[in-house]
């Protein structure tokens, strides 16, 4: 092989290619964003690139020749001895995360890769170190971990409040069940005592109404949280809303001996609102004040026009609200340990319902209290409708049609035999001819035989549900003129839509409100053939 001689005057050992490679490697090291440092086995710095200067703040002339401990925090000096010991054994250290110190005192999170440097004979003579600044990444990870810890704490708190709520719900449902059972026993033992029976009947009616309100509130909060509630808005007078709320709350106020003062603006205030739902807001607030105000207390409801808004405040001189509880007072499952809560009871969902309904109306609600024992104020703010020239329509008093004396053939379908039998007994006492069935197939068979004018159809039944039973009845020539009314525990909007689609003429939720049932029956054919 021919050997090419080097140019005249050039060192015979000169290798142009190796020199170019060496120069390129040096350029790469110098331009790297990472700190690339070499040191002796004694820890003395031999090289220091621009990346090291940028990260640690020392210029090369300040660092080279000094100990690597220049950038190691005092409490981590033992760590460096361990690294040097591992290097002496020929080990490579990859992605070792630790902390180093900058010239200005800043602590920097770094990821280190440390490799042994060997001489031509393979003897370890030093180490090369690549240090990458991972401070931002570590800060992001720590922030994420903090967020996760906070989210976990929130979930744990919500879970705790849910458990407390479920325990309280069980307690609140058992409370009315006790007088219901007691009332039944009294009615059995005192069957001949009309006064005792009438008294127990009133007690049972009140307790049943209380249970229905609890369930209705729970369902309303659930609908709001899932965006399933629909408002039936119209142009309404604030005075009508307040009047309805006061009428609903009046029994509780009288029973507690409270004095209620209502102050409204002299001019009419019109709102774009669902009168029933907005009245529910203020009746809940009035009930809340009545509950947490000692007997004989004072409650004020004051409405004030504020430009394009109206502010309605419900103020009491009751037990008040501690400052720590105010930020969460409207949250679901939130319970405030007030001094008279044990005696008043309650699920703590009324205020969550208030907030949801107010916000659905585009308004706001806030709570304020000077502290425990100093009363509280709940303020609702709503947009006011612009005045119109025509006189607003007066409020209409809704009356249920009187169905007394009407006689019909009615089929009651319910897989709960007690529910079916008690409904049948009530309808029979009103003069109707009644039969009962306890599943969908039996309902179809009995409907063909009995030919009822009205079928009260349960929905959730074994064998064949109420929807399908209704469809099959309506498909028959003999069933096309029968009025099917869903009477069920399912009361969501989608349930009503499904019952209507199946062919039901109405949808009532258990326990049925008798006037509602009578209103539907009064619209149907009146006499049996």
* pLDDT over threshold 90, residue 251: no
Query: What local confidence, expressed as pLDDT, does residue 12 receive?
Result: 52
Give the chain's length: 529
Q: What percent of the chain lies above the pLDDT cut of 70?
A: 81
* Least-confidence region, from 168-182, 368-382, 511-525: 168-182
Residue 321 corresponds to which tokens in the numbers above? 């609200």
71 vs 191, which has greater pLDDT? 71
* Least-confidence region, from 68-82, 116-130, 472-486, 505-519: 505-519
Query: What local confidence, expressed as pLDDT, does residue 235 receive?
Result: 92
Q: How confident is the model at residue 525 (pLDDT cuts 50, 70, 90)?
A: low
* pLDDT over threshold 80, residue 1: no
Cα 373 to Cα 339: distance, rounded to the nearest angstrom: 9
223 vs 497, which has greater pLDDT? 497
Q: To the nearest whole number, what is the mean pLDDT of the chain? A: 81
294-322 tens-digit pLDDT? 989 999 999 999 889 999 999 999 988 88
Mean pLDDT of 159-166: 70
Backbone angles phi, psi at 521, to 5 degrees: -65, -35
Determine contact, residues 433/407, Cβ cutoff 8 Å. Answer: yes
Mean pLDDT of 210-236: 75
Mean pLDDT of 272-281: 88
Q: How far apart are the first and last CA of the chain?
A: 126
Determine contact, residues 361/231, Cβ cutoff 8 Å. Answer: yes
* pLDDT over threshold 70, residue 191: yes
What DSSP string runs through 399-457?
A: -PPP-TT---EEEEE-SSHHHHHHHHHHHHHTT-EEEEESSHHHHHHHHHHH--SEEEE
* pLDDT over threshold 60, residue 117: yes
Residue 222 burial by Cβ neighbours in a 10 Å radius (0-12, 13-18, 19+) = middle
7 vs 84, which has greater pLDDT? 84
Query: What local confidence, expressed as pLDDT, does residue 101 receive?
Result: 93
* pLDDT over threshold 80, residue 116: yes
Determine contact, residues 241/279, Cβ cutoff 8 Å. Answer: yes
Q: What distance separates the 2 farthest-apart alpha carbons in the chain?
A: 138
* pLDDT over threshold 90, residue 353: no
Query: What local confidence, expressed as pLDDT, does residue 497 receive?
Result: 87
Residue 75 DSSP symbol: G
CA quadruple 334, 340, 342, 343: dihedral sign: negative
pTM of the model: 0.47
421-465 tens-digit pLDDT? 888 888 888 888 999 999 999 999 999 999 999 999 998 888 899
492-514 tens-digit pLDDT? 778 888 888 999 988 888 877 77
Residue 21 burial by Cβ neighbours in a 10 Å radius (0-12, 13-18, 19+) = exposed
Q: Which domains does the chain have, with CATH numbers?
A: 20-133 (3.30.450.20), 139-225 (1.10.287.130), 234-383 (3.30.565.10), 409-522 (3.40.50.2300)
Query: What local confidence, expressed as pLDDT, does residue 400 receive?
Result: 35
Q: How confident is the model at residue 239 (pLDDT cuts 50, 70, 90)?
A: very high
* pLDDT over threshold 60, residue 8: no
Q: How confident is the model at residue 204 (pLDDT cuts 50, 70, 90)?
A: confident
* Least-confidence region, from 104-113, 124-133, 168-177, 193-202: 168-177
269 vs 172, which has greater pLDDT? 269
């Amino acid at each position: 092989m021919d050997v090419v001689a080097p140019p005249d005057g050039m060192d015979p050992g000169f290798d142009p290619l190796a020199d170019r490679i060496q120069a390129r490697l040096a350029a790469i090291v110098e331009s790297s964003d990472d700190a690339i440092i070499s040191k002796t086995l004694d820890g003395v710095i031999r090289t220091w690139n621009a990346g090291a200067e940028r990260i640690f703040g020392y210029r090369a002339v300040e660092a080279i020749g000094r100990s690597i401990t220049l950038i190691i925090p005092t409490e981590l000096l033992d760590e460096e001895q361990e690294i040097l010991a591992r290097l002496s054994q020929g080990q490579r250290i990859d992605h070792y995360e630790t902390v180093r110190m900058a010239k200005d005192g800043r602590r920097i999170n770094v990821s280190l890769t440390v490799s042994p440097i060997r001489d031509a004979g393979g003897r370890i003579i030093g180490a090369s170190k690549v240090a990458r600044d991972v401070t931002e990444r570590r800060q992001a990870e720590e922030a994420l971990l903090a967020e996760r810890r906070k989210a976990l704490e929130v979930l744990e708190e919500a879970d705790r409040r849910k458990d407390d709520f479920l325990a309280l719900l069980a307690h609140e449902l058992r409370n009315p069940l006790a007088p219901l059972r007691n009332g039944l026993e009294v009615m059995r033992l005192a069957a001949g005592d009309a006064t005792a029976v009438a008294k127990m009947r009133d007690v049972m009616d009140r307790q049943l109404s209380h249970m229905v309100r609890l369930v209705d509130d729970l369902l309303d909060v659930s609908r709001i949280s899932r965006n399933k509630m629909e408002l039936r808005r119209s142009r309404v007078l604030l005075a009508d809303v307040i009047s309805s709320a006061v009428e609903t709350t009046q029994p509780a106020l009288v029973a507690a001996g409270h004095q209620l003062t209502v102050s409204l603006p002299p001019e009419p205030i019109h709102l774009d609102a669902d009168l029933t739902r907005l009245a529910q807001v203020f009746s809940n607030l009035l009930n809340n004040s009545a509950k947490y105000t000692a007997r004989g207390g004072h409650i004020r409801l004051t409405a004030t026009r504020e430009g394009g808004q109206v502010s309605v405040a419900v103020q009491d001189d009751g037990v008040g609200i501690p400052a720590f509880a105010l930020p969460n007072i409207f949250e679901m499952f939130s319970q405030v340990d007030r001094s008279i809560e044990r005696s008043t009871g309650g699920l703590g969902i009324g205020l969550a319902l208030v907030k949801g309904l107010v916000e659905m109306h585009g308004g706001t609600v806030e709570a304020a209290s000077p502290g425990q024992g100093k009363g509280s104020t709940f303020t609702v703010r709503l947009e006011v409708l612009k005045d119109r020239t025509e006189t607003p329509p007066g409020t209409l008093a809704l009356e249920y049609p009187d169905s007394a004396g009407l006689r019909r053939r009615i089929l009651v379908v319910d897989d709960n035999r007690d529910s079916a039998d008690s409904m049948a007994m009530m309808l029979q006492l009103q003069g109707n001819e009644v039969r009962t069935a306890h599943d969908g197939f039996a309902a179809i068979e009995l409907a063909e035989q009995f030919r009822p004018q009205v079928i009260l159809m349960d929905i959730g039944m074994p064998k064949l549900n109420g929807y399908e039973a209704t469809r099959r009845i309506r498909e028959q020539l003999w069933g096309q003129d029968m009025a099917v009314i869903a009477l069920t525990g399912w009361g969501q909007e989608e349930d009503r839509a499904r019952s209507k689609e199946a062919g039901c003429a109405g949808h009532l939720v258990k326990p049925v409100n008798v006037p509602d049932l009578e209103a539907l029956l009064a619209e149907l054919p009146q006499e049996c053939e």
